[in-house]
A and B are shown apart, each in its own frame.
Chain A
Amino acid sequence: MANEELVNKLKEQIIQYLNLIDVTPEDIKSEAPLFGPDSEMELDSIDAIELTVLLEREYGIKITDPKKGRKVMSSVDKMADYILENGMV
């Protein structure tokens, strides 16, 4: 299970990087999908690149394989898990 402090920090960074309007960290469900038809966030491919940049700049993680990126960025929880395993936290 992802570290709660990291999850909250990540939600704030997602709001900042994607410039989400009228969205608070509480509005983002940690386990909910970030992309795809079941997502409430309505993120798109440009957002995926923005999140790739976030991971690289904030946590030193480089995502070069799109398939891997899709898995890592499937939810905030998944992103936090991956950061705890691979990133500079």
Chain B
Amino acid sequence: MFIRDLSCISPQATYFDALFENGAEELHGPKLWAKEPSYKEIIPNKLLRRMSKLTRMSVGTGLPLIKKHKDIEGIIIASSNGSLDRSMRFLNQIIDYNEGTLTPTDFVQSTPNSIAGVLALMGKITGYNTTHVNQGLSFEASVLDALMLFEEGKSKQLLLGGGEEMSDENYNIDSQRGLHKAEDISTSELLHSTTKGTLPGEGFAMFVVDANKNSESLAEIVDADMICHASKEEIVKKAKYLITKNGMSPRDIDTLFLGRNGDIRTDFYYNHLQNTLFSDQNICFYKNLTGDYYTVSTFATWLAAKFLGGAKLPEECFWKQTTNAVQNVLLYNNYDGEQHGFILMRTV
């Protein structure tokens, strides 16, 4: 599967690629807000006024790609929470107004698949339309979905993407689950932290992907895999399996993108994988740019695709930099130490 074009909204200046010119901005908690562009030229006010932040970000990244690439046949979206904020508002209104008349807008926007629905309506794409909501593996599942569609010959070009918004509701729920840092911390301190929790973030990344390589191809997504409730040894085994299944050995991987997030409870997975299989590779991190969220691997894929396409990553991304030529990249991320996702990419 080949990435032809891509777009990203994140807490960094990624929408117009200023991240690669100006470097990463140091951000402070307790949560990292996405830097949204002005949507006025992309979304008519009439539609914009009803959109949640998540829908805005997805249309802001997806619609310009749909307009530019007229051959997109279907849409696959990853978003675990969707517009959870709207769901909570809708449910609270049932109580506040004693099960009386409810406003339709919050209900319409409350489900994760409203994103793919809105994009299909605005872009007039009547083909395949699916949303994956399996928490920290939503995007990896979306990648597999696209790979299988291409393999079966059911589609040739797709819009693939995902993201989350960190609304107050999301933040409160995840805080009560103990996922966030109790102390004030900045992005530059995050990866050196020795305490529990991480910095929550938000964003959306979108890709135009093709079944076949063409002159516009920027990078290839070779394969994806996932495993849940695994030990650190099983993570190594899974990474080896994915790499060898695709005709490579761990030595062929030159760059590793790791989802290290500064949570002392789960970062050992990254250390173990890195120390066991990848001692001589470039090691890149990205959650010190974006914070953590269920579909943060969309941001990692966006960053890796840019890297494979020749972009110079900000120095904050490199934990270890070698002189290796960049050809084969492995992305490994875990969510809360329970859901582990892998994406294998390479140059075209």
Which B residues touch A19, using CB under 8 A?
49-50, 105
Query: Is A88's beta carbon under 8 Å from chain B?
Result: no
Total A-B residue pairs with C-beta atoms closer than 8 Å? 30
Count residues of A near B (Cβ-Cβ below 8 Å): 15
Closest chain-B Cβ to A62's Cβ sits at a distance in Å of 8
- What is the CA–CA distance of A52 and B100 in the complex, to the nearest angstrom? 12
Separation in Å of the A22 CB from the closest CB of chain B?
Answer: 7
- Give the shortest distance, in Å, between A54 (CB) and chain B (any CB): 9
Q: Please, what's the 1-or-0 string for A40-54, where 1 marks a CB less than 8 Å from any CB in chain B?
A: 001000100110110
Contact partner of B50 among A46, A49, A53, A62, CB < 8 A?
A46
Shortest beta-carbon distance from B24 to chain A in Å: 31
In chain B, positions 99-129 with a C-beta closer than 8 Å to chain A are 100-105, 108
What is the minimal beta-carbon distance from A39 to any residue of chain B, in angstroms? Answer: 12
Is B49 a contact partner of A50 (Cβ separation < 8 A)?
A: no
B49: A residues at CB distance < 8 A:
18-21
* A53–B102 CB distance below 8 A: yes
Task: Give the size range of B's interface with the partner.
Answer: 10 to 19
Q: Which residues of B contact A50 (CB under 8 A)?
A: 103-105
Chain A: which residue is nearest B39 at the CB level? Answer: A21
Answer whether residue B16 sits at the interface, using C-beta atoms and an 8 A cutoff. Answer: no
Min CB distance B102 to A, Å, is 7
- Docked Cα-Cα span, A57 to B98, in Å, equals 11
Is B48 close to A, CB under 8 A? yes
Contacts of A57 in B (CB 8 A): 97, 100-101
Q: How far is the CB of B214 from chain A (nearest CB, A)?
A: 39
Beta-carbon contact of A42 and B46 below 8 Å: yes
Q: Is B322 an interface residue (CB 8 A)?
A: no
Q: Which residue of A lies closest to B100 (CB)?
A: A56
Identity of the chain B residue whose Cβ is nearest the Cβ of A19 in the assembled complex: B49
Residue of A whose beta carbon sits closest to that of B108: A46
B45 within 8 A of A: yes
CB distance from A65 to the nearest CB of B (A): 14
Cα-based distance from A52 to B45 in the complex (angstroms) = 22
Chain A, 1-49, CB within 8 A of any chain B CB: 17-22, 42, 46, 49
A49 and B48 form a contact (CB under 8 A) = no
Closest to B51 in A: A19
Q: How far is the CB of B87 from chain A (nearest CB, A)?
A: 17
CA distance A65 to B220 in the complex (A): 58
Q: What is the 8 Å Cβ interface bit string for chain B, positions 21-51, against chain A (1 contact, 0 not)? A: 0000000000000000000000001101110
In the complex with contacts A18-B49, A19-B49, A21-B49, A46-B105 CB distance below 8 A: yes
Residue of A nearest to B103 (CB): A53
- A42→B49 CA distance, assembly (Å): 12
A46-B50, A57-B97 given; A21·B45 CB < 8 A: yes
C-alpha spacing A21/B56, complex, angstroms: 14
Task: Write the chain B residue with the least CB distance to A15.
Answer: B49
- Cα of A22 to Cα of B40 in the assembled complex, Å: 11
What distance in Å separates the Cβ of B307 from its nearest Cβ neighbour in chain A? Answer: 37
Can you report 9 residue pairs joining A to B where beta carbons are below 8 Å apart?
Answer: A19-B50, A20-B49, A21-B49, A22-B45, A46-B108, A49-B104, A50-B103, A50-B104, A62-B101
Taking beta carbons and an 8 Å cutoff, which residues of B are in contact with A?
A: 45-46, 48-50, 97, 100-105, 108
Extra 4 A-B pairs, beta carbons < 8 Å, given A46-B105, A50-B103: A18-B49, A20-B49, A21-B48, A57-B97
